[in-house]
Structure 1
């Protein structure tokens, strides 16, 4: 049984690599099967469908993003909480860059129902993120929602943009934190700077 689970994970990781390299829509079932070491007929015994596999990979990323917001840092001040959230996102991006690429590029390849599920997870993630890093923001309604989307997008895009820099990792991480702090302090009135 453990070997079967390891085989499944290995095949899933190979599928992720292929989707990220070529794009989900450019990968045929036959090519996917060959890449993961299965015949086209036996692929369905391992994965219900190509689309189901894509959903599983993107859903897993959002579960991990939600886990970065674990309330263990709630006892700290807002500055320390933001630093912890930034570092967690930085590390997650380093661990799962291909899933970030899929989530950004191939989300549209999911069914409407699957896209709605991911949209719900993203909205939950954005709300929890703001509750954690800017609990006293004076914004509300559409302005708060837009701010949440921008902060989440920055958190999830900056690591990828900064990883290609020749600067040492500590400088790249400090730059990411500086950019996010500026965006939050200017975009969320009474946000992080006055949160306790």
Structure 2
């Protein structure tokens, strides 16, 4: 089997696993049911993933690696604006909405070690995001960390909320851009927070 066909099969199986987890909930799906749903034997699935948590970990890790890759593309070009970061998040969310939902809803189902690794990856993503969009932010310490966390949550959640409203794509993206840019502009300058820290 050639590499392109293997990748297509992986993407299709990943999407089918995500759909099953979204429909039934991660905790309600057994490995046997998952294998059957994917058209695999249980032994074949166990060969690749010793447990459901390992599959879940791979799906969430893949999402954060994609988010980091999106930011790294902008760093290489030195031209990516916050509006482009927002548009890239919107596009990735449109492509993988179930993966975002799984990352937010079912991360607690991972083992403590996996949760720690995903937490570190998420922190790397949040740090890169803030460094990219606000290299001259005047906030420091916990306020800066909290700002990065909130911005990441907005970028990862707003597309689902806005897409559920059934707005045309261009209007939803423009609204998301307006909300994020307007909400963080003053915060990143730290005008009001610096007096409270």
The TM-score normalised by the length of structure 1 is: 0.88
Measured on the aligned residues, the alpha-carbon RMSD in Å equals 1.8
Equivalent residue number for residue 63 of structure 2: 61
Equivalent residue number for residue 72 of structure 1: 76
User: Hey, what's the Cα distance between the residues in 1 that align with 2:40 and 2:133?
Assistant: 46
5+ residue gaps, structure 2: 192-197
Q: Is the contact made by 1:73 and 1:81 (CA closer than 8 Å) also made in structure 2?
A: no
Deviation at 1:154, TM superposition (A): 0.4
> Tell me, what secondary structure is at the counterpart of 1:69?
helix
Equivalent residue number for residue 189 of structure 2: 189
1:121-136 matches, cutoff 5 A: 121-136=121-136
Equivalent residue number for residue 110 of structure 1: 110
Deviation at 1:184, TM superposition (A): 1.2
- Figure out how many residues of one structure are paired with residues of the other and give that number: 187
5+ residue gaps, structure 1: 192-196
Deviation at 1:15, TM superposition (A): 1.4
Q: Does 1:160 align with 2:164?
A: no
The TM-score normalised by the length of structure 2 is: 0.88
Q: Deviations over 1:146-192 (max 9, x none)?
A: 0000001001111110002233211111110111111211222269x
User: Hey, what's the Cα distance between the residues in 1 that align with 2:143 and 2:89?
Assistant: 24
User: Hey, what's the Cα distance between the residues in 1 that align with 2:85 and 2:43?
Assistant: 44
User: Hey, what's the Cα distance between the residues in 2 that align with 1:160 and 1:4?
Assistant: 30
Deviation at 1:73, TM superposition (A): 4.3
Equivalent residue number for residue 14 of structure 1: 16
